[in-house]
């Protein structure tokens, strides 16, 4: 069967294609449209997926949308009516937002693809999340927990999955928590309060939390009160997101936590004001972890299963994931590379295939590389047009040795190989790599390329076998870290030698690299390790602030031209630029000229 999965219209639109139960292609719309967090109907992504499967739209057996638009509309309408009269101002806007193309998905898909409405299916939002988490994980029997902002009504759901190779798949959701009680919205509200962009700045809250002490934890616990059944309920008088779209926190929230931070104001945890923001971040992070740990502990007890699959946007919170692994009692915690809404495109397609159509279970490769591959020679062509020095290193070993040398010499390398990653993280196919050892390279990376806030850490990549030498991993930690899903302590004896990737609290969000799925990246880490003594590289996404991760070689090249990356590798082509320090050397030359004149 040929099934296309689509997610769109909230954030991170994406498409995924399944042929005979196996993923063929999956890509986020933003990588193709080059608009960060593009939520538009993912026409380019769909076209690319079909092209990849060499299909025409009429060849598809089904198109699955990742949520039920009418149910979602019902939720928006109900909430607006419940909040009346407070909501009268935002009501027209809310209706306009949802009554546009968002409700008429069936018509849109059918008119864009020219296929009959009967072939269009809808999977519930949290079932898509659950399928994306469970059906991509290497487990047959697992408990499932999905947590996000909101889909139709559910904001958190608990279930279990069972599948037999070549046989039937069962996926039951046992329980759900409904809007407006939402851990995702709780975290996002704090994200907005701390002056970061919602759905984008949650990483920053997590990074900032490490600088603070959770002295507001009791206040947050009052907002997210625990219920007798082990779940939670939000105290809605602190929030406004259910009544208006303008602001997510209420006046009472400000009374409790003080004035919100103005976006774009410098944030320095060293100042009293900055410390207050860090303490607030630490508090909400702590309470989130507590709730998730309690829920998963309960889930472990009630199901007796040893594997847990986590899905939904909250599963991007690596600190919480690591605590769940450590404290819930589950032996394995699996988080897919794309747990958020984009991953739902693949989840919805898998759900339709295995559950709706009852197709037999088929195991498939456990990696995120379902995106567009590099066109050979593209980089060589564009670099030649601009007269850049370039080299071809078609022999894999020579390339790896050469790049390891450059990295060891302190160069910052733009590294593009094979198919791009599906999901928000660069996992060694569209990455910027550099030495993790001194803070110096990291500062240069920040000053000339990433321009990140100083309180945000960079992530390391390490061969899976060597991971526990440098990092303090609990059992199952190496697996959780495959897609950078967990934050773990850096061993004390290595912290000073891994300064660039060690966060202020001594942790790192590491990626473990497997030789079987990632031979080249693995070889690079090893080669670098032979030179430096530590097979760890700093790995950050290949993009500039505000832009999506690069996809094609031309985008990598354009980014390379516009920032301080020293060296760009795409496939076996290597392009280099004048060393970033060259200008300063000229400056020294001017100084020596001055000295000569003095003589």
Partner 1 sequence: MTSAASAMAARDIARISKASLELMACPACAGALEAFSVGSEAGIACTDCAARFDVRNGIPNLRVDADQRTEVVREFYSVAPFPGYPPRDSLGSLRARAERSEFARLLDRAIPGDARVLEVGCGTGQMSLFLATANRVVLGADLTRASLELGGAAARRFGVDRVTFVETDLRKPGLRPGAFDVVYCSGVLHHTPDPRASFAALAKLAKPGGTIVLGLYNAYARIPHRLRRALGRLSGFKLIPFDPVLRDRNAEPARRDAWLRDQYLHPEEHRHTTAEVQHWFRENGVEYLRTYPDSLIAAEPLQGDEFFTAADDNWHFENWLAQIRWAGSLWHEGGLWITVGRKVDSRNDCPK
**Residues found near partner 1 in the complex (CB under 8 A):** 34, 264-268, 271, 274, 443, 446-448, 451-454, 545-546, 561-564, 577-578, 580, 583-584, 586-591, 593-595, 597-598
Give min distance, CB of 75 to partner 1, in A: 32
Our CB check for partner 1 shows the closer of 362 and 452 to be 452
CB of 265 to partner 1, least distance (A): 7
Round to whole Å and give the CA distance between 362 and 138. Answer: 11
Q: Give the nearer residue to partner 1 in terms of CB position, either 55 or 580.
A: 580
Q: How far is the CB of 262 from partner 1 (least distance, A)?
A: 9
CB of 43 to partner 1, least distance (A): 16
- Residue whose CB is less far from partner 1, 221 or 452: 452
DSSP-assigned letters across all residues of 483-535: GT---EEBPHHHHTTTTTT--TTSEE--EEE-TTT-HHHHHHHHHHHHHHS--
d(CA 47, CA 374): 17
Phi first, then psi, for residue 169 (nearest 5°) are -120, 135
Q: Taking the complex as a whole, how short is the minimal distance between the CB of residue 450 and partner 1, in angstroms?
A: 8
Give min distance, CB of 336 to partner 1, in A.
30
Q: What's 480-492 look like in SS3?
A: HHHHCCCCEEECH
Exposure of 406 in the CB half-sphere (CA atoms within 13 A): 24
C-beta closer to partner 1: residue 175 or 579: 579
Nearer to partner 1, 247 or 577 (CB): 577
Q: Any idea what the Cα angle at residue 128 is, between residues 122 and 130, rounded to 5°?
A: 150
Cβ proximity to partner 1: between 236 and 554 the closer is 554
DSSP states of 77-106:
HHHHHHTTTTTTTTHHHHHHHHHTTTT-HH
SS (H, E, C) 153-183: CEEEEEEEEEECECCCEEEEEEEEEECCCCH
> Of 538, 503, 578, whose CA–CA distance to 415 is shortest?
538
Quick one: 20 or 454, whose CB is closer to partner 1?
454
C-alpha to C-alpha distances, 340 to 84, 129, 311, 423, nearest whole angstrom: 31, 8, 7, 8
Distance CA 41, CA 44 (A): 9
- Cα dihedral 208→209→210→212 (10° resolution): 100
- Name which of 274 and 318 has its Cβ closer to partner 1: 274
Instruction: Give φ, ψ of 539 to 5 degrees.
Output: -125, 115
- Who contacts 177 (Cβ-Cβ below 8 Å, separation ≥6)? 154, 155, 156, 157, 231, 232
Least CB distance to partner 1 at residue 596 (A): 9
d(CA 544, CA 448): 10
Shortest reach from residue 451's CB to partner 1, in Å: 5
Q: How far is the CB of 399 from partner 1 (least distance, A)?
A: 24
Task: Rank residues 493 and 595 by Cβ distance to partner 1 and give the closer one.
Answer: 595
Is the Cβ of residue 255 or residue 599 nearer to partner 1 in the bound state?
599
For partner 1, the closer of residues 74 and 268 by Cβ is 268
Nearer to partner 1, 58 or 593 (CB): 593
d(CA 312, CA 292): 13
Q: How far is the CB of 581 from partner 1 (least distance, A)?
A: 9
What is the Cβ-side half-sphere exposure of residue 494, based on CA atoms within 13 angstroms? 24
Query: Are 346 and 26 within 8 A, CB to CB?
Result: yes
Beta bridge partners of 308: 143, 333
Tell me how far, at minimum, the Cβ of 560 lies from partner 1, in Å.
8
Distance CA 596, CA 599 (A): 5
CA–CA dist 293, 315 (Å, integer): 13
Nearer to partner 1, 36 or 252 (CB): 36
Between 34 and 356, name the residue whose CB sits nearer to partner 1. Answer: 34
Residues 6 or more apart whose Cβ sits within 8 Å of residue 48: 15, 25, 27, 32, 372
Q: How far is the CB of 453 from partner 1 (least distance, A)?
A: 5
Closest distance of CB 554 from partner 1, Å: 11
Shortest Cβ distance from residue 78 to partner 1 (Å)? 35
Those residues whose C-beta lies under 8 Å from the C-beta of residue 294, and which sit 6 or more positions away, are: 226, 230
Radius of gyration from C-alpha coordinates of the chain = 24
């Amino acid at each position: 069967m040929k099934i296309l999965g689509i997610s769109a219209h909230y954030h991170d639109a994406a498409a995924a294609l399944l042929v005979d139960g196996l993923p063929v292609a999956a890509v986020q719309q933003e990588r193709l449209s080059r608009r960060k967090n593009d939520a538009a109907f993912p026409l380019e992504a769909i076209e690319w997926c079909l092209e990849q499967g060499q299909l025409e739209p009429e060849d598809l057996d089904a198109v699955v949308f990742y949520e039920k638009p009418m149910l979602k509309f019902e939720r928006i309408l109900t909430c607006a009516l419940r909040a009346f009269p407070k909501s009268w101002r935002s009501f027209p806007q809310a209706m306009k937002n949802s009554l546009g193309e968002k409700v008429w998905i069936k018509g849109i898909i059918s008119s864009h693809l020219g296929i009959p409405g009967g072939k269009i299916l809808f999977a519930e939002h949290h079932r898509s999340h659950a399928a994306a988490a469970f059906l991509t994980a290497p487990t047959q029997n697992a408990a499932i927990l999905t947590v996000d902002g909101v889909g139709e009504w559910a904001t958190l759901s608990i279930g279990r999955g069972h599948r037999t190779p070549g046989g039937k798949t069962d996926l039951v959701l046992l329980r759900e928590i409904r809007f407006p009680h939402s851990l995702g919205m709780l975290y996002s509200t704090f994200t907005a309060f701390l002056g970061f962009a919602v759905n984008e700045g949650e990483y920053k809250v997590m990074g900032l939390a490490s600088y603070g002490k959770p002295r507001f934890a009791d206040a947050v616990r009052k907002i997210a009160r625990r219920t007798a059944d082990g779940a939670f309920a939000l105290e809605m008088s602190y929030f406004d997101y259910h009544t208006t779209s303008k602001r997510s926190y209420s006046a009472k929230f400000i009374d409790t936590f003080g004035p919100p931070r103005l976006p774009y104001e410098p944030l320095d945890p060293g100042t009293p004001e900055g410390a207050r923001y860090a303490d607030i971040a630490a508090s909400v992070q702590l309470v989130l972890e507590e709730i998730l740990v309690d829920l998963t502990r309960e889930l472990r007890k009630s199901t007796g299963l040893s594997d847990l699959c986590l899905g939904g946007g909250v599963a991007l919170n690596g600190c919480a994931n690591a605590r769940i692994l450590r404290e819930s009692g589950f032996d394995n915690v699996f988080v897919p590379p794309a747990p958020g809404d984009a991953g739902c495109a693949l989840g919805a397609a898998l759900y339709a295939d295995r559950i709706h159509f009852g197709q037999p279970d088929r195991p498939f490769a456990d990696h995120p590389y379902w995106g567009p591959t590099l066109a050979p020679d593209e980089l060589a062509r564009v670099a030649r047009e601009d007269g850049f020095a370039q080299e071809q290193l078609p022999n894999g070993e020579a390339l790896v040795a050469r790049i390891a040398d450059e990295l060891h010499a302190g160069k910052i390398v733009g590294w593009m190989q094979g198919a791009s990653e599906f999901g928000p993280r660069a996992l060694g196919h569209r990455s910027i790599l550099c030495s993790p050892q001194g803070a110096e390279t990291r500062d240069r990376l920040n000053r000339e390329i990433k321009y990140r806030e100083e309180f945000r850490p960079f992530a390391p990549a390490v061969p899976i076998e060597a991971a526990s030498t440098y990092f303090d991993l609990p059992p199952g930690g190496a697996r959780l870290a495959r897609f950078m899903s967990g934050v773990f302590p850096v061993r004390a004896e290595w912290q000073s030698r891994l300064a660039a990737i060690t966060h202020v609290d001594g942790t790192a969000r590491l990626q473990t690299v497997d030789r079987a799925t990632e031979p080249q990246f693995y070889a690079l880490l090893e080669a670098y390790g032979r030179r430096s003594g530590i097979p760890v590289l700093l790995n950050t996404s290949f993009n500039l602030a505000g832009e999506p991760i690069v996809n094609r070689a031309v985008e990598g090249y354009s980014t390379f031209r516009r920032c301080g990356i020293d060296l760009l590798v795409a496939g076996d082509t290597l392009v280099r630029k004048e060393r970033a320090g060259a200008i300063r050397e000229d400056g020294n030359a001017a100084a020596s000229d001055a000295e000569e004149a003095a003589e």
